[in-house]
Structure 1
């Protein structure tokens, strides 16, 4: 398994999570998640932007588009469903584009 896909330690996860306000872990600690509120229905544009980033990174999350909300869940299946640096890098990139879409 490439080092980038190696599971992170509990301490590494805690440290990286502290740098991503609004993101949390599922109860089992295997998935990084966040819900973004959108000011209007065209949240699909935000989802399309996330999809473009995922394709560039060759790492994909689960996305759920609702009326005024987008839910994002990230994990690395190739690492046995554990969190890796790839997950946090993807979350950071999503976090960085959210304000341009009015997502909070």
Structure 2
């Protein structure tokens, strides 16, 4: 596996992406993206939980808060705006907490 902040090869990106249902490549393959729908809980609560995780791992995404949705876009700017293991680790952490917020 490539070092943590090194850009990942295309084959590894595809492998890791397959382990994150609902996530897709965006921006010509340099970022990961997912939109969560929130049927009954305010999206702001989910955003705050994501922000706490981002602070823990010192890796931050772009978040878009909508009426009943939260959009997440992840990339590693320090790696020239390319995908690294950090991006997939953050996406996995977000994916793990989503059900507790009713996010699908």
TM-score category, normalised to shorter length:
over 0.9
Partners of 2:5 and 2:38 in 1: CA distance = 31
Extract structure 1 runs of 4+ deviating beyond 2 A. none
TM-score (norm 1): 0.96
Listed as ranges, the matches of 1:13-52 within 5 Å are: 13-40=13-40, 42-52=42-52
Structure 1: 5+ residue runs without aligned partners?
A: none
TM-score (norm 2): 0.96
Partners of 2:85 and 2:41 in 1: CA distance = 32
Residue 70 of structure 1, CA deviation: 0.2
| SS at 1:40 equivalent | coil
Query: How many residues align structurally?
Result: 102
Q: Which residue of structure 1 aligns with residue 73 of structure 2? A: 73
- Structure 1 residues 27, 55: CA separation in 2 closer, same or farther (over 3 Å shift)? closer
Q: Which residue of structure 1 aligns with residue 58 of structure 2? A: 58
Structure 2: 5+ residue runs without aligned partners?
A: none
